[in-house]
Structure 1
């Protein structure tokens, strides 16, 4: 289990200018966003920065990752975002600053600001126009692809600013086509996100006895990606599995036996667990802690906190446990039974890990020969 947090996600704005129907913040069981202030104040940002510095000093950390998130963080506007970045850049520990945005407002003004503060930018994008606009639409129902595509091209032209693309898997989209549409934008990394579902609210297409549709989708991406030299981009979930198959350790959330060392600070200063838990039930991410009164170490003492939760009992005899770790905690939930069960994606994870392991094993045999 992690002894310290290395990544701090700051919800600097609690609303969004898109109305994505697959959003785990606004469309899932937890609706606590409704009572949050629109923006994180400079006072809360300063308290957060002090707590991060305190945590880093206590654990001997020389640097931390700070992600400005939302909602949509660019809704803060350049002036307020500048004020927040000034506070975070003056912390007592070096911060690797990243913004995760939907890209709608990512124009030259924000890019200049991020150049000034050395901020890297991740953009949420689901593939080409048809795949992207299937979900990522405005409140009036208009697609967002053209604006996001233009923004990402401008971002890619800025040296050292592009962090990568985040794509939510939709089984209706062709996996290889999605991958190739994304890499045309030259991202340094692509992160494929499994839709956040659970046993009470299964993800689309995930039915008992219904095969392994998510494994099949990701295997098609893996075979296209893994078979290309030199590598076109990093693919986080696939690289995480590769590292674990080869005996290493992965910090990818939802993969491996060790929970990712991530903590969230909401716009009002509340300290919470992973956002993905919002898909389980209302209040699932809550810790009852606040940056003005509590250190981040206090999270580890919260009963049942995700970073302290062991793999489900049913998973312990499984030969794939060392790689999948039981899957993401949020995906284990069932109403009335809690989180002590395998991931709703268990068959998909098993099949995906098996496929990757077989490919790697075959390559190692050939190398020895």
Structure 2
């Protein structure tokens, strides 16, 4: 690692086993903690049941509340987009925990194993995230960031985004999996994969991302800001 490189550590967890003892350890080693929660109990339990097949929602909420008692450790919340869930309801439920950041992740998928869609001709994930954007923008009392949406605003105005899932910035994070394996941060590269062409494909979410980007930029224009003019002046 190059000298002078600053390393920040963040742990992602479902929050169910967090305790004061764990937080003491994280505090000692300056490890920030993010919690994965897909929304209200009904939404979260679609994919996040316990090993015994029971709801994990209450345990996750208990872990979040414990983290909130030590805000210096609370990195934010992560929700995986599920088209079966209501985007505004999910956003508002997560926002009620007053996290510093809400991350929305698109489900891992490839061209050989595409994401679930009700209608493949419709950019359903882009529509879903556009509703999150509208909900987030309509409530100025919230102080949390939504990383994907803020990155679209930043990239549209010529500013480098914070993560490599959008734009062309080089990766600045690595992921250490629970089995010890190490991989690059972000999920956009796997979304390009096919057995026939490797990674020489557009993202399986290309139409969704295009729809979302155009939606955000359209909103900026309605508020008197031309992102293209901003990008030109910044170059």
TM-score when normalising by structure 2: 0.88
| Superposed CA offset, 1:129-183 (max 9, x none) | 0011111012221110011111101111213111000100000000000011111
Give, in angstroms, the shift of residue 266 of structure 1: 5.7
Q: State the partner residue of 1:341.
A: 201
Q: State the partner residue of 1:128.
A: 40
CA distance in 1, matches of 2:114, 2:179: 31
1:161 aligns with 2:73: yes
Q: State the partner residue of 1:258.
A: 169
Q: Is the 8 A contact 1:251 1:260 kept in 2?
A: no
Gaps of 5+ in 2: 227-235
CA distance in 2, matches of 1:107, 1:243: 37
1:103 aligns with 2:15: yes
Q: Is the 8 A contact 1:225 1:232 kept in 2?
A: no
2:101 to 189, 204, 207: 189
Q: State the partner residue of 1:288.
A: none
CA distance in 1, matches of 2:118, 2:111: 10
| Number of residue equivalences | 226
Q: Is the 8 A contact 2:16 2:62 kept in 1?
A: no
2:214 to 354, 363, 368: 354
Q: Is the 8 A contact 1:102 1:148 kept in 2?
A: yes
Gaps of 5+ in 1: 1-54, 66-96, 277-327
User: Higher relative contact order at CA 8 Å, sep ≥6: structure 1 or structure 2?
Assistant: 1
Pair 205,243 (structure 1): closer, same or farther in 2 beyond 3 Å:
same
Q: Is the 8 A contact 2:165 2:186 kept in 1?
A: no
Q: State the partner residue of 1:199.
A: 111
CA distance in 2, matches of 1:333, 1:207: 22
Pair 271,100 (structure 1): closer, same or farther in 2 beyond 3 Å:
closer
| Superposed CA offset, 1:177-236 (max 9, x none) | 001111111111000000010111011117642x11101110111011123224431101
Q: CA RMSD in A?
A: 2.1
1:235 to 142, 146, 151: 146
CA distance in 2, matches of 1:226, 1:101: 28
CA distance in 1, matches of 2:145, 2:97: 13
Give, in angstroms, the shift of residue 365 of structure 1: 5.1
* SS at structure 2 position matched to 1:249: coil
Give, in angstroms, the shift of residue 264 of structure 1: 4.0
Pair 184,64 (structure 1): closer, same or farther in 2 beyond 3 Å:
same
Pair 141,270 (structure 1): closer, same or farther in 2 beyond 3 Å:
closer
Give, in angstroms, the shift of residue 270 of structure 1: 5.5
State the structure with more CA Rg. Answer: 1
Aligned 1:240-251 pairs, distance under 5 A: 240-251=151-162
Pair 186,172 (structure 1): closer, same or farther in 2 beyond 3 Å:
same
Q: State the partner residue of 1:364.
A: 224
| Superposed CA offset, 1:89-108 (max 9, x none) | xxxxxxxx322111111012
Pair 148,359 (structure 1): closer, same or farther in 2 beyond 3 Å:
same
* SS at structure 2 position matched to 1:364: coil
